[in-house]
Amino acid sequence: MDLDGDEHPSQVCERAAILGLAAVKQGGNNLARTLVGRAARLSRACGCRAFSVSAALTTFNSVEGYNRQAETPASSAGDLDTASTLLELGGHTHILGPEVLAAVHAAGCARGAALVAAGAGGPRVIEARGWDESQALAAARKPERFQLIPLGEHRDEPWQVVADPLDDLEHRCTFIAIRRLVATALTLDRYRREEKQRAALWPAEALDGDPESVWASEQMTEILAVARRIAPTPLSILLTGETGTGKEMLARAIHRASDRADRPFLPFNCTAVSRDMIESQLFGFRKGSFTGADASFAGVIRSAAGGTLFLDEIAEIGLDVQPKLLRFLETHEIHPLGESQPVKVDVRVIAATNAPLEQLVADGRLREDLFYRLNVVRLKLPPLRERREEIPPLVDHYLRRYGDEQKKTPLTLADETLEYLLLYAWPGNVRQLANEVRRMVAMAEPGATLTPAMLSPEIQASRRTIAVTPEATPEIRVRIDQPLPAAVQLLEQTMVRSALDRSRGRVEQAAKLLGISRKGLFLKRRRLGLRNAS
């Protein structure tokens, strides 16, 4: 069974009919009765008119000497198929209900059971087994006296199976197992629906299973979508953005999504060695090529052969080395010091910098032709202060990670502490946030709650009250004797309505006034119930 596939009931119906037909022809009477009966019920419920269903029913009814009323033990194959069917029908309450009722009856674990819909005019019995109509209706009106199996809603009516299980342990356990199967089916359906909704809003999927890749913002998912498309290509990539935004993390993700994933990923920081050593470190050298070259060195580029080379702080490479780097990018050839012939090397280059490259070109510190060669595909990572929605999941991730490392789990974060973290500007971006959480975990006792007093002084000092100056800007007064979520919701509703009014309903302009994206405004309107706001 494919839990991700969300099989349609008509497919389940046709499968049951085909398997039932095979069971009839092979003489498997018990299994045939289960499967053909299921196909008939599903056919009525979902309107399936497949030829296989009518063929199975005809063949089943025409078997000579077949006693369809005989009570025989259920087969293990039939039990497994019943469980599989219940799990697949979790999102179709009106079809799931009769199947659950049939499963309870077939298991013989209840004196009576009824499928009940709780409508506005009172409970309504849809079908009953083991009870007559009056008994089923009495049970539906007083369900608290019986055992219930919730089935979800159909046409805004809650459906459930009301049953009177037998008292012995075996039958009671069987009934509980059926109820747990149904609960699991409903949970799986909810997960499927949530995943579909998430995919519709954030279609870009993660490039890898890296637990560090906590990218939940709209900007980052759009970057990931581009990265996914270019990962399999040999194109050079330039990553820009402030220090600590996750450029190396993204480079590793691109490497893992490429056809070079099984080859080395080699990071090299161009500021880690002095400028006069960069050439020999990148391109390598032959023994005796200069004073101190006591042994040959392959160099970073050849060490990454077949894989990906990540050149961080690329703007720090001197003008004397830039022509050789340009030649390598264009021809994939390097000329190590002391070698008489160039060497061909197959390496995919991902470069990164936090410097303004256009300004460096204008100042003559970066060759223009090298800039254009690096700038084939450019991905700019926004700072953390522009994707604050990622702060809570990042904090949660680092809290678990460092708590496990320091054996202090479970640690929790006070709501006020999270407010400080959300409002801080984070000049060091994700790297600074990770270090801040690590420091707080080190200060905390095992199982403690992290309070604002444990934050760094600069973060504590960043949250100050700003004096209000008289001006024409509209104001909103918020009561402080109410729960924080209610106050925040009121503030958001008021500001969204005001922005939509000022922009005369133009969503793009309203989003700009609020300082959020168009999709962000759409999500807020939906969450706040302002879909039809002007």
Tell me the C-alpha distance between 49 and 17, whole Å: 11
Instruction: State the pLDDT at residue 61.
Output: 62
E strand residue ranges, 107-230: 110-119, 122-129, 147-154, 157-165
And the tokens for 217? Answer: 């913002």
Domain ranges, ordered by start, for the chain:
1-77, 89-201, 218-380, 388-462, 484-527
Those residues of the chain that have pLDDT short of 70 are 1-17, 19-33, 36, 38, 42, 44-81, 195-214, 288, 290-293, 463-474, 481, 531-534
Element spanning 249, H or E: helix 247-256
Instruction: State the pLDDT at residue 67.
Output: 43
CATH class of 218-380: alpha beta
- The answer as to CATH 3.30.450 being correct for domain 89-201 is yes
Where would I find the H helices in 390-470? 391-405, 415-423, 429-443, 457-462
Radius of gyration of the chain, Cα coordinates, nearest whole angstrom: 33
Instruction: State the pLDDT at residue 197.
Output: 58
* Neighbour count for residue 417 (Cβ, 10 Å): 20
Tell me the C-alpha distance between 56 and 35, whole Å: 9
Q: Could you identify the residue written with the tokens 């085909």? A: 18
Instruction: State the pLDDT at residue 327.
Output: 92
And the tokens for 118? Answer: 């709780």
Where would I find the H helices in 93-160? 93-107, 133-141
CATH class of 388-462: mainly alpha
Instruction: State the pLDDT at residue 4.
Output: 42
Write down how long the chain is: 534
Q: Cβ neighbours of residue 93 under 8 Å, at least 6 residues apart? A: 151, 152, 153, 154, 159
Q: Which residues is 53 bridged to in the sheet? A: none
> What are the Cα distances from residue 444, in Å, to 394, 451, 453, 501?
19, 9, 11, 48
473-481: list long-range contacts, CB under 8 Å, 24+ apart: 474/498
Distance from the Cα of residue 215 to its chain's centroid: 10
Instruction: State the pLDDT at residue 490.
Output: 82
**Which of the 8 DSSP states describes residue 277?**
H
